[in-house]
Amino acid sequence: MPWYILIRRERKMSEKLPSKFQVGDTVWNARCDWLPVEQPCPICYGNREVKLTLGNGDEMMLPCNYCAPGFEAPKGVVAQYEHVVAPEPVTITGVEIKCSGGVVQSYYRNGCFGYDEDRLYEFKEDAAKRGLALKAELDHDQNTRVDNLKKSKAKSFSWNAGYHMREAKRDRASAERHEQKAVLCKARSKKD
């Protein structure tokens, strides 16, 4: 049965702990976050509209729906999420050392945040190298997931174009009908 000893130290202390870092040390956390990064729209290339060629050869310009968030107008840019490496300085306020089966593990705290020993480094450059390695692992995982997604996002453009053409045709017919009724109303008002 494994046994463990928990040694907890917080704030200032006079004795050294058998760990890599001590309370009060400022170290670097190898951080790799999933953050939005603005890039030009891959559909309209920043023009905010796209040209659609219909089956009969007619062309029409449509607002780009890919870079239009919700009901807003197209922006020409999209927020693509990427793994961003950003080492951050951390001041250690607590150390936990656990011994189990002869293996000693150290966990470090800064306020309410906890860090494993393999994520903390004495120098910023070392933390950045570890962050790049984490980014490579996470990007590989993300790319294997992307392979299973639908390849073509342009399929919705044909439906959108058909819908708007149908609505434009209906509106033209409605406008002609209302113009004819307006002419009749004017003619009748002259008779009265």
pLDDT in tens, 111-170: 888 888 888 999 999 999 999 999 999 888 877 775 655 455 555 666 667 677 888 888
pLDDT of residue 4: 42
The residue behind tokens 């300085």 is 89
SS3 75: coil
| Residue 43 φ then ψ, to 5° | -100, -50
pLDDT of the residue at 155? 55
Q: Which pLDDT score, from 0 to 100, does residue 2 have? A: 40
Domain interval for residue 89: 6-150
pLDDT at 105 over 60: yes
Tell me, yes or no, whether 155 lies in a domain. no
Q: Is residue 46 part of a domain?
A: yes
pLDDT grade for 10, boundaries at 50, 70 and 90: very low
Would you tell me how many other CB atoms lie within 10 Å of the CB of residue 130?
Answer: 21
Residue 16 belongs to a domain = yes
Residue 96's pLDDT is 84
pLDDT at 106: 83
**SS3 at position 66:** coil
Would residue 157 count as lying in a domain? no
Whether the per-residue pLDDT at 7 is higher than 60: the answer is no
Has residue 89 been placed in a domain? yes
Tell me whether residue 61 is in a domain. yes
Number of H helices, E strands in the chain: 2, 11
Query: Tens digit of pLDDT for each residue in 25-50?
Result: 899 998 888 888 898 988 888 899 88
> Is 11's pLDDT higher than 60?
no
pLDDT single digits (tens) 45-70: 889 988 888 888 888 888 888 888 88
Q: Is residue 125 part of a domain?
A: yes
* Residue 102, domain member (yes or no): yes
In this prediction, what percent of the chain has a pLDDT beyond 70?
Answer: 80
Average pLDDT score, the chain: 80
Which tokens sit at 50? 């796209």
Looking at the 3D structure of the chain, how many domains does it have? Answer: 1
pLDDT above 50: residue 74: yes
The pLDDT value given to residue 158: 61
